[in-house]
Amino acid sequence: MVPDTIIAMTVHTSHPPRLSRHPDGITAVDTEYLRPGMAAAHIIRHGAGAAFVDVGTNYSVPYLLAALDELGIAREAVERVFITHVHLDHAGGAGLLLQSLPGARLAVHPRGAPHLQDPSKLIQASMAVYGEDNYRRLYGELVPVPAARMDVAADGQVVTLQGRAFTLLHTPGHAMHHFTLVDGAHHNIFPGDTFGLSYRELDTAAGAFVVPTTTPTQFDPQQLLASIDRLMATQPRAAYLMHYSRVTDLPRLAVSLKQQIRELAALAQRAAGTPDPYAQIRAGMRALWIELLGQHGIADAEARIEPVLGKDMDLNAQGLVSWLERLGNKK
């Protein structure tokens, strides 16, 4: 049974949904996670049908439903909900959202499916990262996804929305339970966190600025490098990131991502065995990103980095420490 406080969130929003309309029937909906412009779910509209790609948290659900209303999409017309991976900023609201979408089926990586059916381990892992109080504030009470409404996404599987074909590619590196949605006919990808994050506040005349996400607990640099190469082999023209929405000029961004992944892995290895590897890794990451932001044309990078990228640095540093610990356990 869903607590009444959660049910209430499906019908109340504090303001209209923040929408960004893009080509090919794609709309980004701000999930209101942490701050505006931090995370976006995407609605794909095609013919008489629609789909969500990632959904944010329980607290995002009212905004997603309001977005459907604003776009004139009936809830019964939503056929699919694609969850790129089960980190809670992407998937925490899936069970609750499905309660309002009677015709929708949810697609998830086979490693992620058990955690959406029984979210207890997700809850424990998230509490370990955020602490119990912060976890409750960020994510609320998770609603399980019924197995009968779930499709397990095989690598290379093709699914359709009103005849529009999407290929689901397993793309580990950020997480083992990760897939990317490839919209081949329109040369779009929906890579979750595999293709990093790119906040619009950091756009300049040079274009978008991108950084990788190395968050706990399954970051693997070699897998992530291979996944980026696999995505680029599909020859995409645009990527729709959860953090934050549409970016183009993907060959340039892919080169930058791969260089940073290698540099961050090397930085972490240099910190191994030091008294406080987390602090050393975070400081090194901060210095690297300030340098790159300066090269990108951000004159006040020192002042802007913490408000925009501070929380990502915290999580990235934790993920790199976790990776070091796994490396040490293998020796």
Q: Which domains does the chain have, with CATH numbers?
A: 1-108+110-152 (3.60.15.10)
- Beta-strand relationship, 188-190 and 179-183: antiparallel
**Backbone φ, ψ for residue 45 (5° rounding):** -110, 130
- Beta-strand relationship, 188-190 and 238-241: parallel
Nearest to 321 by CA among 287, 283, 284, 272: 272
Q: Count other Cβ atoms within 10 Å, centred on residue 211.
A: 25
Kindly state the DSSP code that residue 189 receives in the 8-state scheme: E
Q: Are 166 and 160 in contact (CB under 8 A)?
A: yes
**Backbone φ, ψ for residue 220 (5° rounding):** -140, 115
**Backbone φ, ψ for residue 29 (5° rounding):** -120, 120
* Per-chain mean pLDDT for the chain: 94
Most distant pair of Cα atoms in the chain: their distance: 58
pLDDT score at 5: 30
Burial of 330 (0-12, 13-18, 19+ CB in 10 A): exposed
pLDDT score at 330: 66
Nearest to 45 by CA among 65, 27, 25, 67: 25
Kindly state the DSSP code that residue 305 receives in the 8-state scheme: H
Sheet bearing 164-170, strands edge to edge: 157-161, 164-170, 179-183, 188-190, 238-241, 245-247
**Backbone φ, ψ for residue 35 (5° rounding):** -160, 160
Tell me the three state secondary structure of residue 83: coil
Q: What does the pLDDT profile of the chain (331 residues) look like in tens digits?
A: 223 333 333 346 789 999 999 999 999 999 999 999 999 999 999 999 999 999 999 999 999 999 999 999 999 999 999 999 999 999 999 999 999 999 999 999 999 999 999 998 888 888 887 788 888 889 988 999 999 999 999 999 999 999 999 999 999 999 999 999 999 999 999 999 999 999 999 999 999 999 999 999 899 999 999 999 999 999 999 999 999 999 999 999 999 999 999 999 999 999 999 999 999 999 999 999 999 999 999 999 999 999 999 999 999 999 999 999 999 866 5
Q: Are 194 and 173 in contact (CB under 8 A)?
A: yes
pTM > 0.95: no
